[in-house]
Structure 1
Amino acid sequence: MRLTVWRFLDGNRAHEKQTAALLCGLRACGCAVDSHDIPAAALSTLLRHGLDQQLRSLPQPDFIVGAGHRSHWSVLFARRYFGGRSVVVMRPSLPLHWFDFAVIPEHDRPPPLENVILSQGALTEPLPRGRRRPGKGLILLGGPSKHFSWDTAAVRGSLQRLLAEPLEWTVSDSRRTPEETLRGLSVESGEICHWRDCPPGWLAEQLAESEQIWVTGDSVSMIFEALQSEARVGVIPLPSRRPANKVRAAVQRLVDQERLTDRVEDVAIPVGAPREPLAQEVLCARALLRRSDWLAE
């Protein structure tokens, strides 16, 4: 089947990656997707001038997709004037019932409405298959967050245990990583790649090639990106700021499902066959098609 999708972009790369992942999921379901990327307009602009008149030259949309608050009004206006079904990715700041469908991570605990499609984590784009290299390890460090404290001594202890394993390690930090975390750290077999020095596409390449990937527990989006790989995925534990922690609960569910491990010592266990990617973008796309009567049961 062929679908026309209008994708409103708010300029936030993280948001745009999630809607791109949904389009990948639609294609994986066998759809030929004609996608049209459109800059989102502010509500004040829409009220004064309406939608861009050039939209009239585009094919009528089957789905109108957006992620992030700045895209929501453009999605709703386009749905009103051009038809199609509106799809918002992530929990919107506007009422859920204003949209035909909402794809929302289950750890955000949305209400059980019939237009809500639950995803396990944020949608992420698929990675190339068949590129896993034996003996290659990747460590991705986050930093303090509203959900987790950062224990530098404990993190360094986990790093030393991981790096003691004779793999070809790549260690990368992020904007949030405290400087003292990597100060004086020796990576005898591998390298440290600071986030400022990582070129475009570097992370996807590293994820696709690694046999083991370890991520600090605060970086939930990175954990779900890692689960798109064929690697063993491990979490470096961090102390929670409060007993009720939705991010920790989401990670714990993945541990309980044996999709990842939170035991650093598991780095020494031989890695088995390539793991099947999480592929939530495919499950959510299939649910969207089924609920829209595009897909037979």
Structure 2
Amino acid sequence: MLDYLLSSTIKFLSFFVSFIPIRISLFFAYCLGKVFYYLFPQKAKLAYLNLKLAFGDKLSLVERKRIVKELFCNLFMNVIEFLYFPYMDKNYIEKYIKISGEEKIKKIIERKKGLIFLTAHFGNWELSSIVAQIKGYPITVLARQQKPQRLNLLLNRYRSRLGAEVIMRGSETRELLNCLRRNRIVGILGDQKSGKGGILVEFFSRLAWTPVGAIKLSRYTGAGILPVFIIREKGPYHRIEILDELPIGESEESSLKQFHILLEDYVKRYPSQWLWFHRRWKGSPQKDIIILSDGKAGHLNQARALAKLTKEVIEERFKNLNIKKEIVKIREMEIKFRNILARFLVNFLGIFARESCRGCLRCLRFFLEKDSFSQLISLYGDVIISCGVNLSAINLFLAKENQAKSFIIMKSGFVPLKRFDLAVIPLHDRIKPFKNVMITQTALNLIDEETMKEGIENIQKEGYRIRKDKVKIGLLIGGNTKNYILTNEVMEKIVTELLKIAQELDAHLLVTTSRRTSKEIETLVKDRLLNNSFCPLLIIANEKNIEKAVPGILGLSDIVVVSGESISMVSEAVSSGKPVLVFMTKERIFKKDTKQKRFLENLRNKGYIDLVTPERIFERIRDLLNHPYKNRIFEEKELLYERIKKIIP
């Protein structure tokens, strides 16, 4: 019944519009397209997303939405022209359609091996076949089977009323070969995602799965391939451009790459005339990871660690494709709020983040600095990563904007954790586990064998000579925090004990301060250790730092001593697999139960660290050296890697 109604409606509309001047009909279709832009928000949002993926920051939010509206208008004008197909004749074509490059058709037809029109869902692509029929060219078109049988037959009758052959997709290869052997023209759309048997071709700087049928047909039959594009100039006026014959190179990829270069050029010039509704880049191995930063170095390093793991998952998934170019791009952006109140309000607004936010995000304009907002809405990412409660809402808004996966580290404020694809929460935050929550013993960090090796190389490049036959003790010095103070008294005792053990064992001390280390502590450390033969490496981070100095020290050290006020620094030490001694700094206000204490107690109970007073460092280091320490492999990253594998498509 529905099939009958659809086909009857199209027949009636086709008959009805034949009595209306084409310009009036197209004007009506143009207006109707603007209405349907609002009636089909999901299609509009998909087109918007594809535009953002393709053009990035080259188009503003307003320009992207304008192009999508024009796309709807163009499609409805295509529909009206399709209804005119039964009444189009030579006079109509001569009046409204210009053709450039027609002589190239005749040149290839003379070879008697057939011709392939390789085109795209661009302009009114259906009109191209009608023009070819009216011009007298024997053409065969490839069409998608429509489920309603009557409707399918009617559409194909419109397409073929002047002698064209219509072949349905599915089992078309043999029929297409026969057509080319009969020296016919075959029209093939080559711009949509391929199924099995396709290859990866770069399109708008991103690899996309692409059908190879046209190239294979050309190679098998010797048929020439002409790229053809039809452009709507204004209203019913079109221009068909027949480009130079596509060279068939040694590989299918080279020929398809050349076609997509041409297609990309046309899409850039006439963006509203390409069909942006198709998921062209679905399944692409190329991914963009966006790291949102709140300006805190510790948070940024944790986000980088999660991004690195995510990148490894993606690269592992597609390693069998042997792609030569880098397929994962990681970009960072610092989010700047207008003020403290704006930061609080955005966190609250995250509760309302939905798919409907895509193409909008205007509310964020009131809470972010102007440059920060402009950069944010231009970002495209497949995975959004942030660390810290202040960025959780921004993360979710951007994920909805880009239809991306959202990964957060630490608590999410007002936004429920279940709204995110992955939440990495440290155990000491006491969060109730959900299926999307990964509880960790430590803070995420970038310490691994590769990073430690790179750090060692950087230290050696700076001219530091550290003998391999010596025992090496690493000292990571933190500084003052909101709850803890690193005093001169404590630091004096630590340095004294370490020099004592270094003299007894003829060991090397490898020392670095941090950005938080006070001037007083820096002065103390320099007075005691600078130019000391037992300390061949002393880095004052606020004066001169070495890239990846901490990973380098961790890689070189046999034992690591670290101040305990920093969760991030202790986590890095633990991730090295070396024995770790943690000394506590002075609390500003004594509290029985704090996040810091829970974190350190948990690691001590599991045997990853030893909590020591400054007075016991000498004794504890000697015990560790007399009783060889078996490096403990910290398996959290492996577990997190497996969680990410289940999320990334």
C-alpha distance in structure 2 between counterparts of 1:278 and 1:157, whole Å: 30
- The reply to whether residue 261 of structure 1 matches residue 610 of structure 2 is yes
Contact 2:293 2:332 in 1 (8 A): no
Structure 1 equivalent of residue 637 of structure 2: 281
Post-superposition shift, 1:179? Answer: 1.0
Contact 2:428 2:599 in 1 (8 A): yes
What secondary structure is seen at the aligned counterpart in 2 of 1:145?
coil
Match of 1:162 among 498, 503, 514: 498
Counterparts of 1:185-204 in structure 2, within 5 Å, are 185-186=528-529, 187-190=532-535, 191-196=537-542, 197-204=544-551
Structure 2 equivalent of residue 244 of structure 1: 593
256 and 139 in structure 1: CA distance in 2 versus 1, 3 angstrom threshold: same
Range moving further from structure 2, 108-117 or 129-138: 129-138
Which has the larger helix fraction?
A: 2
Unaligned runs of 5+ in 1: none
Range moving further from structure 2, 79-88 or 21-30: 21-30
Range moving further from structure 2, 169-178 or 118-127: 169-178
Residues 258-279 of structure 1, C-alpha deviations (whole Å, 9 max, x = no match): 1122242221131736624435
Contact 2:438 2:640 in 1 (8 A): yes
Structure 2 equivalent of residue 213 of structure 1: 560
Identity of aligned residues (%): 19
C-alpha distance in structure 1 between counterparts of 2:300 and 2:482, whole Å: 23
1:24 aligned partner, one-letter code: K
- The reply to whether residue 37 of structure 1 matches residue 320 of structure 2 is no
Residues 167-195 of structure 1, C-alpha deviations (whole Å, 9 max, x = no match): 11022223334615537424441143222
- The reply to whether residue 92 of structure 1 matches residue 428 of structure 2 is no
Structure 2 equivalent of residue 109 of structure 1: 430
Post-superposition shift, 1:64? Answer: 2.5
Contact 1:102 1:115 in 2 (8 A): yes
Residues 237-296 of structure 1, C-alpha deviations (whole Å, 9 max, x = no match): 334432112212211221221112224222113173662443533322322434x386xx
- The reply to whether residue 142 of structure 1 matches residue 478 of structure 2 is yes
Give TM-score scaled by structure 1 length: 0.80
C-alpha distance in structure 1 between counterparts of 2:386 and 2:478, whole Å: 27
42 and 249 in structure 1: CA distance in 2 versus 1, 3 angstrom threshold: closer
3 and 211 in structure 1: CA distance in 2 versus 1, 3 angstrom threshold: farther
Structure 2 equivalent of residue 80 of structure 1: 400
Count of residues in correspondence between the two structures: 289
RMSD: 3.3
Give TM-score scaled by structure 2 length: 0.40
Structure 2 equivalent of residue 231 of structure 1: 578
Counterparts of 1:13-24 in structure 2, within 5 Å, are 13-24=297-308
What secondary structure is seen at the aligned counterpart in 2 of 1:9?
strand
52 and 9 in structure 1: CA distance in 2 versus 1, 3 angstrom threshold: closer
- The reply to whether residue 126 of structure 1 matches residue 447 of structure 2 is yes
Range moving further from structure 2, 80-89 or 41-50: 41-50
Post-superposition shift, 1:79? Answer: 2.4
Structure 1 equivalent of residue 34 of structure 2: none
Relative contact order higher in (CA < 8 Å, ≥ 6 apart)? 1
Residues 13-48 of structure 1, C-alpha deviations (whole Å, 9 max, x = no match): 433321221133235554457234253656887534
Residues 115-160 of structure 1, C-alpha deviations (whole Å, 9 max, x = no match): 3221222110133358595512211122333333444324322322
2:416 aligned partner, one-letter code: L
Match of 2:517 among 169, 176, 180: 176
Considering only CA atoms, is the larger Rg found in Structure 1 or Structure 2? 2
2:400 aligned partner, one-letter code: R
127 and 288 in structure 1: CA distance in 2 versus 1, 3 angstrom threshold: closer
Contact 2:290 2:384 in 1 (8 A): yes
C-alpha distance in structure 1 between counterparts of 2:630 and 2:311, whole Å: 23
Contact 1:10 1:70 in 2 (8 A): no
